[in-house]
Chain A
Amino acid sequence: MTILTPKTETEAADVVREARAARRPLAIQGGGTRAGLGRPVQADAVLSTRAMSGIVFHEPAELVIRAKAGTPMREIEASLAAHGQFLPFEPMDHRAVYATQGEPTIGAVAACNISGPRRIIGGAARDSLIGVRLVNGRGEAVQSGGRVMKNVTGLDLVKLSAGAHGALGLITEVTFKLLPQPQTQRTLVLRNLDDATAIAALTAALGSPFSVTGAAHLPPHHGNKAQTLIRLEGFAESVAYRGDRLMQTLSAQGKADWLAEDEAAQVWADIRDARPLAEPRDAALWRISVPPTRGSGVAAEIASRRKARWFFDWGGGLIWLATPEADGAGASLVQSIASAAQGHATLMRASATTRAAVSVFQPPSDVEMRLTQGVKASFDPDRIINPGRMHAGV
C-alpha cells in the first residue's frame, strides 16, 4: 500500500485535499506499534506522521512540551528525564500486547487518549493535553488550545481529538503539560488476597488522605501468588510516613510490606503495558472501565459465562481481561455486563476479522450515535480519514 509521508502540516493538508478530491480514504499511522487498536480501516493509502517529527519546545520552568506528532516517545521521555519531569498519565506502551516493533509516537498517545496506572490521580492523556493542531478531512489546518495550562477559549476540540483515534483528522502537533518527577516512588504489597478483598483494600487506600498514585491487583498467575499493589510518590520522608499510616489502614485486609524498588518499577511497567495478559497471543484482550467497586463482580460474571483471565488496575476500575477469540471475543456479553455496571468495554486485541465484525468500542446510544456521526461529518464530511476506525459507518 502507498505510504504518504508529508514533512509539514501544509504538505499533509495538500495530501488530504487531494485524497478528498479523489474520494480515496487514508489510514493514519504513527510508529505502527498500535496497529491492532480499533476497527480495521478500509483505505487506499497510509498517511504517516513519520516525517513530521521533533520537539518544538520543552520549557522545563513552565512544565510544558510541544512536539510534532511523529516524535518518538523515546525522544520525548529523554528530554523530560533530563529535566526531572514526566508525563503525568504514565502512557502505556502497546508493543507487548501487539508484539509490534518500532517506536510509539507522541501523536498516537494523544489520538488514542492513552494512560496507565497513574490515571487515577494524574488523569489520562486528555487531561494533560493542552493544545493540538490537526488537519481535518477537508484538508484544513485547525488549532485548538495552546501552551497554557488554563484555557477555556472556544470549544474544547483538544479533548474531542484526544481519544478520537484519528477519526476527526490527522493530529500534526501536540502540547502537553508536565509534572516534576517525584523524588521517591515506593510500593506496598499485600499477598494472597482474593479479588473482592483486594479491591476493598485498594478502595480503603484510595479513600485515605495519602495520595496513592497506583492501585492494582494481580490475581494468582503462573504459580505466583496474588499481589495487591499500592504506590506512593513524593519526598522520601513523606512517602515513608504515608506508607506507615497505610499499613495501619489496611490491617483489616492483611499485612502490607514494602516491595523492593527494582521489583516495584518492573511490576508497574508490566501493569501499565498489560504484560500479564500479553500471552497467549491468540487470546482476545478487553479493557473494561467500571466504577472500582464493581470490578470484581464484573470479572466474575464474565468468567461464569466464558473462559477468562484478568487483572485489575485503577483500584478495580480498570479490568484487563483475556478470553478466547471465539464467538466474536464475547463482545456482546462483555459489553452488556460492562454497561450494566455503568461502564464500558473496548476490544483491545483480536484478529482484523473479529474487529470488523463486532463493536470494538462500546456501542453508543441512538442520540450519542447521531452526535458522533454529526461530529465526524463536521470534521471529515466525505469520510476520508480513518473511516470506520471507531464505529462502522463513522
Chain B
Amino acid sequence: MHAIPFPTPDAGILARRDDIIAGLGALLPAECLVTAEDERRAFETDALTAYRRLPLAVALPRTTDEVAAVLRYCHDHGVNVVARGAGTSLSGGAIPQEDAIVLGLSKMTKILEIDYANRTMRVQAGVTNLGISSAVAADGYFYAPDPSSQLACTIGGNIGMNSGGPHCLKYGVTTNNILGVKMVLIDGSVVELGGPALDSAGFDMLGLVIGSEGQLGIVTEATVRLLRMAEGARPVLFGFPSSEEAGACVASVIGAGIIPVAIEFMDKPAIEICEAFAKAGYPLDVEALLIIEVEGSEEEMEAELGRIVDIAKQHGVTTVRESKSATETALIWKGRKSAFGATGRIADYICMDGTVPTGQLPFVLKGTAEIVQSYGLRVANVFHAGDGNMHPLILYNCNDPVEQAKAEQAGSDILKLCVDAGGCLTGEHGVGIEKRDLMLHQFTQTDLDQQMRVRAVFDPGWRLNPAKVFPLEGRIAA
C-alpha cells in the first residue's frame, strides 16, 4: 500500500522508447547511456527506498555540452528528465518515473579551479561534498555545509536541495556558500548565474535556483566559497537527565551570545543506536545528549567551553566529555553522521525533516513522541538543535504494508505539527515526492501558484523532475 501517487506514465513515450534511446545514442557514446533493465535498476530509487520506478533510460553526460544536447533532445521530443547526483535524497528527489530519463552527473567529477587568494573553488556538479573539502584540507581550507551523506552526495545534489548539515549553525547552508553556477535550461541553452564576485547583478536567480530540486535546469558547474579552517575544533558531549533540560541548555547557550559551530541533539534511542554502531563513547546513562563543537586556538576553545559548561551545569548536566584527540573527534562525528545508516541496521525508517522555532522544541518533541506512540511505532530523535531542524526517525518494517502506511501517516502528522508550531515541512532534505502533498498545509494556493508561475518561466512544459514538490493537481504551465 504505497500512499504517494505518481503520474500515470505517458503511453506515447513508452511506445517510442526505442526511438528515444536511438536519439540519445546519437548524442552520447555507448558508455554514457544505460539502457539494459538490470543496469537501469540501479537508478530506480534513492534514499527514500520505499518508492521506486524504473526509468526509460539513463544518460550520463561528461560535459555541459552533452547535458545541453540531451536536454534539447528531451525538450524537442517531449521526454521528462530527472536529474540525479549520487541518489542520496531522503525525500525522493531523485526517484524517476517510467516515462522519464535519468540524467546523472556521475561522470562530471572534475575540480576545475582552486583559488585560495579569493577563497573560491570551481567544480563540476558530480564532485562529492566531501571531495571538495578533501581537495583543500591539506592547505587548511574547507567547504562548510556538511550533510550526513557528504561522503557520497554531490555538490549538484546539494544545490538542488539546498542541503545543510551540523556545521550550518555557524556557517550557513548551501545557498549561503555557493557563489555561482553554470546551468543548462530544458531547451539546451546555457546560463551562468553569479560568479566569483559577491552579490547578484540583477534578480537573485542563483538564490532561486538553489533548492529548486532540479526543476529549473540542470546545474553542471558550481563556484563554491572556501573557508579557512579554525586553528582547532573540538566536539564536547553533554549528557542530560531529560530532553527538556537539554533543550533549555541550547536556548541558554545561544541566549548568552555564544554561537558554537554545531549543536547536535540525540535522544536515548538515538544514542543507543549510534553508540552500538560507532563506539564513540557516548554516555548510555542519560536521556539526552548534546554534541557541541567549539573552535579556535587552545585558549579560545577552553574559554568558550568554560562558558558553555557553566551554562550546562545550571541545566543539570550529568556528563561532560571533551574529545582528547583527533581520533576521538572523528569517532564522535562518525557516530552522529552515521545515525541514519546505523538506524537502518536495526529497522527500516523514514526520516522527517521539519524545522520549528527553537523555543518550540520541547513542545514538538513531546508531540512527536505522542504521535508515534499512537500508531504503535518507535522513534529516535537526532537533530540540529541550534537551528530547530528536527529529524525524528520513525522505525517500521517496510515488508509490512500496514506498518508502512502507519509510519507515513505518523510522519505526516509530525510535519503538520511542525508547521502549526510556526515551522516548516523541510529544513534541509527537500520536498521531493515525500512532502509534495503536504505543501498546502504550509502554503496557500496563491503562494504555490506564484511559485509555479516562476517555475514555468524556466520549464514551461514541466519536463524537469515533474512529479516533485508541487501537488499533482492544479499545476500551472506557461
Q: Which residues of A contact B453 (CB under 8 A)?
A: 378-379
Smallest distance from the beta carbon of A4 to chain B beta carbons, Å? 22
Let me know if B195 and A343 touch, CB within 8 A.
yes
| Beta-carbon contacts under 8 Å, B94-121 to A | 115-120
Q: How far is the CA of A144 from the CA of B198 in the complex (A)?
A: 24
Report if B346 contacts A (CB, 8 A): no
Q: Which residues of B contact A344 (CB under 8 A)?
A: 197, 199, 201
Let me know if B168 and A155 touch, CB within 8 A.
no
Let me know if A147 and B208 touch, CB within 8 A.
no
**A148 in complex: contacting residue of B168, B211, B231, B357, CB < 8 Å:** B357
Closest to B449 in A: A140
**A119 in complex: contacting residue of B198, B303, B355, CB < 8 Å:** B198
Report if B422 contacts A (CB, 8 A): yes
Let me know if A142 and B447 touch, CB within 8 A.
yes
Let me know if B428 and A150 touch, CB within 8 A.
yes
Let me know if B454 and A146 touch, CB within 8 A.
no
Q: Which residues of B contact A154 (CB under 8 A)?
A: 431, 439, 442-443, 447-448, 451, 469
**B446 in complex: contacting residue of A59, A142, A156, A238, CB < 8 Å:** A142
Given contacts A148-B422, A367-B185, A367-B191, are A374 and B357 in contact (CB under 8 A)? no
Q: Which residues of A contact B254 (CB under 8 A)?
A: 61, 63, 180
Closest to A391 in B: B202
Mark contacts of A353-364 with chain B using CB atoms, 8 A cut-off: 1 yes-contact digit, 0 otherwise: 000000001101
For chain A, the bracket of interface size reads 35 or more
Count of inter-chain pairs, beta carbons less than 8 A: 253
Let me know if A147 and B257 touch, CB within 8 A.
no
Q: Tell me which of A115, A126, A167 has the highest count of chain B C-beta atoms within 10 A of its own C-beta.
A: A126
Given contacts A84-B257, A150-B427, are A160 and B454 in contact (CB under 8 A)? yes
Q: Which residues of A contact B192 (CB under 8 A)?
A: 365
**A113 in complex: contacting residue of B199, B210, B429, B451, CB < 8 Å:** B199
Mark contacts of B177-202 with chain A using CB atoms, 8 A cut-off: 1 yes-contact digit, 0 otherwise: 00000000100011111011111111
Q: Which residues of B contact A124 (CB under 8 A)?
A: 198-199
Q: How far is the CA of A149 from the CA of B258 in the complex (A)?
A: 16
Let me know if B422 and A147 touch, CB within 8 A.
yes
Report if A371 contacts B (CB, 8 A): yes
Q: Which residues of A contact B443 (CB under 8 A)?
A: 143, 153-154
Report if B315 contacts A (CB, 8 A): no
| Beta-carbon contacts under 8 Å, B219-273 to A | 228-231, 251, 254-259
15 contacts between A and B (CB under 8 A): A59-B357, A127-B175, A148-B389, A150-B384, A152-B173, A153-B435, A155-B451, A156-B207, A157-B208, A164-B204, A344-B201, A362-B201, A371-B191, A374-B457, A390-B202
Residue numbers of B with Cβ under 8 A of A are 115-120, 140, 161-162, 164, 168, 172-173, 175-176, 185, 189-193, 195-208, 210-212, 228-231, 251, 254-259, 296-297, 299-300, 303-304, 355-359, 384, 387-389, 422-431, 435, 439, 442-444, 446-448, 450-451, 453-458, 469
